Chain A
Amino acid sequence: MTTTGTAIGRGEVLPRIRVGRSRRPRRATPLVAIGIVVAFAVLPAFVDAGLTSKLVDAFVLLTMASMWNLLAGYAGLVSVGQQTFIGLGSYIVLILAQWGLQPYLAVPLAAIGCAALALPLAWLLFRLRGGYFAIATWVVADAVQLVISHFPSLGGGTGAILPGVAGIAPATRLAWTYWSALGVAVAALAVAYLLLRGRLGLVLTAVRDDEVGARSVGARVGWAKRIVFLVAAAGCGAAGALLILSQLNVLATSVFSVQWSAKMIFVTIIGGIGSIEGPIVGTIVYVLLQETLSQFGAWYFIIVGLVAIVVALWSPRGIWGFVASRIHLRPFPVGYWLFVEAEPAGDGGPPPGPEPPAEGDA
């Protein structure tokens, strides 16, 4: 970073700059993260089935929100059609279970299946941009729902029951579902974090700031967006698989409903788009709101929606964005920081201190 002013080479000292991931090397974070996961893993032994069930729902929501955040907050792909993959994930598990596979083993297969189906869809959908891309994802979801509703073996319009779980004791079933959900959520966060720390993350940040500029320096923008689209499809597919495992049945109109997109979008907006921590915060807030407002029945969803709109207008980085800009805490650092280590001589140098990476809106 040069100083402003006329002559460089007038003997001014250029500042020494260090590029790093975080202010202090964070050795504690992985240990803390593992600790939290272990704590959650043993939790069912200490709490009742009701709470365990709610935690399953929370993990599913967290997975979906993380995937949507990856799409919209990093790749700039605003989708209101992720329910396509949620539904497909559920139905892949259903079909595999109908063929005799142990349903819990079908979860990763559902994820992979959805990623595979996402590839041709990406080719089709990427012909549109912005809001038109968004609505097209919704059209696809509606179309897929209509097609699936046509097959009586999949329950037609009235729903289907998941086979292969009748022989398992309810408590065991709940525990397996819980651990599967925890595993999927942790995997989703881990995949997102690792993707963004790598080259892909760099490409995406460049695209977010200036797509044309990114392409002109050779960043493989289309490839990066496709990878994100496939990962998000896989994540939502896994979430859909968890849904059918926890509900034991699936209804096309409900699992392909746009309300799923609404939930994951509201959660991510409230928590904060464009940061790994955002969906986590958003899920916590959403669940708390759900608990405290449950007495108002369906009004709670309206209230959540209004909160999301207000947050989108007045605090576009969400709760986490607001908090993180005040306390310098980055459990999941995916950006780069510039640390200036010497004061430059002369006038008009860059201001001392770290300059936060640009984590702006997509």
Chain B
Amino acid sequence: MSTPVPAGSGGAAPPSRPALEVRDLTVHHGQLRAVTSLNLTVEAGEVFAIIGANGAGKSTLLRTIAGLHRPTSGTIWLDGTDISAAAPEERLVAGVALVPEGRRLFPSLSVEENLLVGAHRRRPGPWTIERVYQLFTWMPGRRRQLAAQLSGGEQQAVAIGRALVANPRVLLLDELSLGLAPVVVRQIYALLPELLATGMTILLVEQDVSQAIRIASRVQCLLEGRTTLAGRPADLRPEQIEAAYFGMAAAARR
């Protein structure tokens, strides 16, 4: 398994605590091992993308970071604090917010009620429901509509808004593009810089590799729960990524 070393940032920069760190994480689904001894470091203020095929363990990883899964071994660190034992609701208060795969809005609640739930234990910060309404200009007019009646793209926007209003330090985005038209996906990804501008760190899982490479400052590729590639998109050749994604050892050695 080849793991190209990312171009180093040099010894001159002062050491800063990573926003999110995953150390030696192993997660099981029953008897199936979904993630094996995984290490991951996300620096503050960057966009970090995890790519890989279906079943590679990406969503399991994100759900475990958010607290919905208990890992078999390993630890998770937020801003230098060990949050491995915290319940999901407490991790939100600590500063980790997950926008889950499939949106998972509350279907019988309205758009505004969904946002209100997201905000009920919000941390101090610039994001409010009003600011979310400014980000998504169509939303205020539809605030009383039931979440179940929205289109996929609109639901994705509300789901992101619901996570934003809690003012997380680290925003986890799980498969944003799933089930959405490419044009909608691009619109949503176009919003990321505004999120970063407020001091957020973003860790996202994405099946669409080209989309991931376009917006991430660093990527890590998973296959069957293990890291097969990590580095800056600029440093990685397409064949390397392809090989790591599909697990063709021969191609990787080409």
Say whether A associates with B.
Answer: yes
20 CB < 8 A contacts A-B:
A4-B33, A4-B36, A4-B224, A4-B225, A5-B224, A5-B226, A6-B1, A6-B223, A6-B224, A6-B226, A6-B228, A6-B247, A6-B249, A7-B247, A7-B248, A7-B249, A10-B249, A348-B33, A348-B36, A355-B31
Q: Nearest 10 pairs between A and B by C-beta?
A: A6-B247, A7-B249, A4-B33, A4-B224, A6-B223, A6-B1, A7-B247, A6-B249, A4-B36, A6-B224
Question: How far, in Å, is A113 (CB) from chain B's closest CB?
Answer: 44
Residue of B nearest to A10 (CB): B249
Q: Which residues of B contact A4 (CB under 8 A)?
A: 33, 36, 224-225
Q: How far is the CB of A1 from chain B (nearest CB, A)?
A: 10
Q: How far is the CB of B84 from the nearest CB of chain A, in Å?
A: 23
User: Shortest CB–CB separation between residue A340 and chain B, in angstroms?
Assistant: 14
Bitwise, A328-352 to B at CB < 8 A (1) or not (0) is 0000000000000000000010000
Q: How many residues of A contact B (CB 8 A)?
A: 7
Interface residues of chain A: helix, strand, loop or mixed (majority) = loop
Cβ proximity bits B11-50 to A, threshold 8 Å, 1 near / 0 not: 0000000000000000000010100100000000000000
Q: Across the interface, which residues of A come within 8 angstroms of B248, CB to CB?
A: 7
Residues of B within 8 A of A (CB): 1, 31, 33, 36, 223-226, 228, 247-249
CB-CB nearest in chain A for B249: A7
Q: Kindly list 13 other residue pairs between chains A and B, CB separation below 8 angstroms, not including A6-B1, A6-B224, A6-B247.
A: A4-B33, A4-B36, A4-B224, A4-B225, A5-B224, A6-B223, A6-B228, A6-B249, A7-B247, A7-B249, A10-B249, A348-B33, A348-B36
Closest chain-A Cβ to B36's Cβ sits at a distance in Å of 7
**Alpha-carbon gap, A355 to B224, bound state (A):** 22
Name the interface residues of A21-69: CB closer than 8 Å to any CB of B: none
A67 to B1, CA, bound (A): 55
Residues in B neighbouring A6, C-beta threshold 8 A: 1, 223-224, 226, 228, 247, 249
Q: Which residue of A lies closest to B225 (CB)?
A: A4
**Cα–Cα distance between A10 and B1 once the two chains are bound (Å):** 12
Complex CA distance for A4 and B226, rounded to whole angstroms? 10
Q: How far is the CB of A198 from chain B (nearest CB, A)?
A: 26
Chain B residues with CB below 8 A from A7, complex form: 247-249
Which of A4, A5, A6, A10 is packed against the most chain B CB atoms within 10 Å?
A6
> In the complex, how many angstroms separate the beta carbon of B243 from the nearest chain A beta carbon?
10
Complex Cα spacing A10 to B249, Å = 9
A residues with CB within 8 A of B:
4-7, 10, 348, 355
Residues of A within 8 A of B249 (CB): 6-7, 10
CA distance A280 to B226 in the complex (A): 47
Please, which residues of chain A bring their CB within 8 A of the CB of B36? Answer: 4, 348
Closest to A3 in B: B224
Give Cα A345–Cα B249 distance, bound, in whole angstroms.
Answer: 18
Q: Point out the residues of chain A lying under 8 angstroms from B223, CB to CB.
A: 6
Q: What separation, in Å, do the CA atoms of A5 and B248 have in the docked complex?
A: 12
A348 vs B226: C-alpha distance when bound (angstroms): 12
- How many Å lie between the Cα of A40 and that of B156 in the bound state? 68
A323 and B31 CA atoms in complex are apart in Å by 22
Please indicate which of the listed interface residues B224, B226, B247 has the most CB atoms of chain A within 10 Å of its own CB: B224
Closest residue of A by beta carbon distance from B224: A4
Q: How far is the CA of A7 from the CA of B2 in the complex (A)?
A: 13
Chain A residues whose CB sits within 8 angstroms of the CB of B224 once the complex forms: 4-6
Task: Determine the chain A residues whose CB is within 8 A of the CB of B225 once the complex forms.
Answer: 4
Give Cα distance in the complex from A348 to B247, angstroms. 17
Give the residues in chain B near A10, CB-CB below 8 Å. Answer: 249
Nearest-CB residue, chain A, relative to B36: A4
Please name the residue on chain A nearest to B247 by beta carbon.
Answer: A6
B233 CB → nearest A CB, Å: 22
Q: Write out the residue numbers on chain A whose beta carbons fall within 8 Å of the beta carbon of B228.
A: 6
From B244, which residue of chain A is reached at the shortest CB distance? A6
Residues of B contacting A5 in the complex (Cβ-Cβ under 8 angstroms): 224, 226
**How far, in angstroms, from A7 to B223 measured CA to CA in the complex?**
10
Q: Nearest chain-B residue to A351 (Cβ)?
A: B31
- Closest chain B residue to A7, Cβ basis: B249
**Shortest Cβ distance from residue A354 to the other chain B in the assembled complex, whole angstroms:** 13
CB distance from B90 to the nearest CB of A (A): 26
Residues of B within 8 A of A355 (CB): 31
CA A5 to CA B226, docked complex, whole Å: 7
Q: How far is the CA of A4 from the CA of B31 in the complex (A)?
A: 12
Residues on A with beta carbons closer than 8 Å to the beta carbon of B247: 6-7
Chain B residues with Cβ below 8 Å from A348 are: 33, 36
Q: Compute how far the CA of A6 lies from the CA of B247 in the bound complex, rounded to whole angstroms.
A: 6
> Whole-angstrom distance between the alpha carbons of A4 and B223 in the complex?
10
A149 to chain B, nearest CB (A): 44
- In the complex the two chains form, what is the Cα distance from A5 to B225 in whole Å? 8
Task: Specify which chain A residues have a CB less than 8 angstroms from the CB of B31 in the assembled complex.
Answer: 355
Give Cα A355–Cα B225 distance, bound, in whole angstroms: 23
Q: In the complex, A355 Cα to B247 Cα: how many Å?
A: 29
- Closest Cβ of chain B to A260, distance in Å, is 37
Docked pose: A5 CA to B37 CA in angstroms: 12
Least Cβ distance of A323 to chain B in Å? 23
Closest chain-B Cβ to A204's Cβ sits at a distance in Å of 20
CB distance from B222 to the nearest CB of A (A): 11
| Chain A residue nearest to B1 in the complex (CB) | A6
A270 shortest CB reach to chain B, Å: 27
CA A355 – CA B249 in complex, angstroms? 31
Residue in A closest to B31 when the chains form the complex, CB atoms: A355
Taking the nearest CB of chain A, how far is it from the CB of B252, in angstroms? 9
A210 to B31, alpha carbons, bound, how many Å? 15
Contacts of B33 in A (CB 8 A): 4, 348
Query: Could you say which residues of chain A place their CB within 8 Å of the CB of B226?
Result: 5-6
